[in-house]
Amino acid sequence: MTTTGVWASGGSVGAAPAPTKTDHAYLSLRRMILDGELAPGDVLDQEALAAMLSLSTTPVREALRRLESERLIVSRAHRSTEVAPLSFETLEQTYAVRIVLDSMAVELAAVNATEEQIKEMRRCAKLPRQKDDPLARLQKNRAFHSAVYKACGNDMLIDILDSLWDISDRYRIVVLRNAPAAEAARSEHDAILDAIESGQRRKAGQLMREHMEKSLATITQLAQGK
């Protein structure tokens, strides 16, 4: 379910495979949902989407299945397929798990990260600021967290966190549309990385917990217009 291409499996490293028609449909529709072009509750007509994307209905249908697995859309029994509603309950439940598991991952990374993995985290943390593109900010934010997860050395934990990110993206982008909040998150990433690099496991875990708790609070406040 990954969308950023950061989860590398074992084996030789070669050129990334060319995107398929299903990939194109999936990425296009995902971006439209995250950007709000396809709003919560919008009915998704496969034939209309296929015509819009200049594709047949087969890759669109496969793309919708992927999006449903990420809880971005819902299929009503014997009815329509719709963009999933935003839910504070889903937000809170997702972050309750992420606060624990992200902290665990960063503590493991502080112990297990190689020099090359720390360089990759630093590279992701230093990616150029995207002042007017919240979706690019979202990708940059995910790249940093993904680099941390990869360094934890626990493949099961990585898979779980990856699936939680897919659910989190619609909510996280609320923060990343807000420039001051996005800049604060960037500073928090730097502090977390410093703790990882110096091997301060408990400090890294605590900083990640605080980072996630602030993120949840900010999303809630911004979504409620406070």
| pLDDT for the residue 173 | 81
User: pLDDT-based confidence at 50, cuts 50/70/90?
Assistant: very high
% of the chain surpassing 90 pLDDT: 57
At residue 6, does pLDDT exceed 70? no
Most confident of 30-39, 86-95, 131-140, 190-199: 190-199
pLDDT at 172 over 70: yes
Residue ranges in the chain assigned as alpha helix (H) = 21-34, 46-53, 57-69, 88-112, 115-125, 134-152, 155-176, 179-197, 201-223
Is residue 100 scored above 50 in pLDDT?
yes
Does the pLDDT of residue 48 top 80, yes or no?
yes
Phi and psi angles of residue 39, each rounded to the nearest 5 degrees, phi first:
-90, 160
Lowest mean pLDDT among 21-25, 38-42, 191-195: 38-42
In the DSSP assignment, the letter for residue 224 is: T
**pLDDT tens, position by position, 120-131:** 999 998 877 656
pLDDT digit string, tens, across residues 117-158:
999 999 998 877 656 688 888 888 889 999 999 999 999 999
Tokens 């007017």 -> residue: 132
> What's the pLDDT score for residue 77?
73
Residues 6+ apart with CB under 8 A from 141: 172, 176, 185
